[in-house]
């Protein structure tokens, strides 16, 4: 059985878990933590040590959440969370990439503090990352991903908003209130959102 090596707090890992549950694959993929075996560090599965990583039965590894999302969609028959029709497909993939950009910027804000202990965080760098987040949220306020059907774009945005709720890099609920109703609708449509929420 393939093993998803991930972390509970990673929004990129959460994307894949939500998709797996949505696609009915939760009994076909084992959810495992990173570095569950000292002799098998994540570097052996992905040279740049990023999670999640999906370890297949044949020993091969698939990494980058976007690629794993493609894999689980294909495993479920294709066209489930990534549309087959060309315009819809690339609209969904483009919006999913923008949602990933929110998560990337959000994580860089955390790393600026975490990996510079004892130093003053670089205010200009933090402002630049927050600017990326706010501009992307502006876009999604005007162009929220459809929930009929739920695609990788909607899953990505939901996980980005959830990560902002978790780490508080930007108070998106105050600055982008229209997205609150969208996220509530997503949660109602996709029960695995709450199932995968970090404590």
**Is residue 4's pLDDT more than 90?**
yes
Whole-model pTM?
0.94
Which CATH number does the domain housing residue 93 bear?
1.20.1050.10
Cβ–Cβ contacts within 10 Å for residue 166, how many?
15
Q: Are residues 63 and 121 in the same domain?
A: no
Q: Are residues 71 and 94 in the same domain?
A: no
Q: Residue 117 contacts by C-beta under 8 Å, 6 or more apart in sequence?
A: none
CA–CA distance, 63 with 70 (Å, rounded to integer):
11
User: Is residue 146 included in any domain, yes or no?
Assistant: yes
Q: Does one domain contain both 101 and 167?
A: yes
3-state secondary structure of 79: coil
Q: How far apart are CA 137 and CA 156, in angstroms?
A: 12
Q: Which of 25, 55, 75 is the last residue of a domain?
A: 75
Q: Is residue 65 one of the residues assigned to a domain?
A: yes
In a domain? residue 36: yes
Indicate whether 89 pLDDT > 80: yes
Please tell me the total count of domains within the chain. Answer: 2
Does the pLDDT of residue 178 top 60, yes or no? yes
Structure-token pair, residue 179: 């997205």
| Coil vs helix vs strand at 100 | helix
């Amino acid at each position: 059985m393939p093993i998803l090596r991930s972390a509970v707090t990673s929004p990129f890992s959460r994307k894949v878990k939500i998709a797996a549950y949505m696609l009915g694959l939760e009994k076909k993929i084992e959810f495992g933590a990173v570095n569950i075996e000292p002799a098998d560090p994540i570097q052996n599965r992905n040279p740049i040590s990023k999670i999640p990583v999906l370890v297949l039965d044949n020993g091969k590894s698939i990494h980058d959440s976007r690629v794993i999302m493609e894999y689980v969609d294909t495993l479920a028959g294709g066209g489930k969370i990534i549309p087959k029709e060309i315009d819809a497909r690339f609209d969904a993939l483009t919006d999913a990439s923008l949602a990933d950009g929110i998560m990337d910027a959000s994580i860089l804000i955390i790393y600026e503090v975490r990996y510079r202990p004892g130093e003053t965080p670089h205010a200009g760098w933090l402002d630049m990352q927050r600017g990326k987040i706010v501009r992307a949220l502006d876009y999604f306020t005007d162009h929220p991903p459809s929930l009929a059907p739920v695609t990788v774009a909607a899953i990505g945005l939901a996980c980005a908003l959830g990560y902002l709720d978790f780490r508080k890099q930007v108070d998106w609920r105050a600055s982008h209130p229209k997205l609150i109703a969208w996220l509530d609708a997503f949660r109602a449509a996709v029960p695995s959102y709450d199932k995968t929420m970090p404590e």
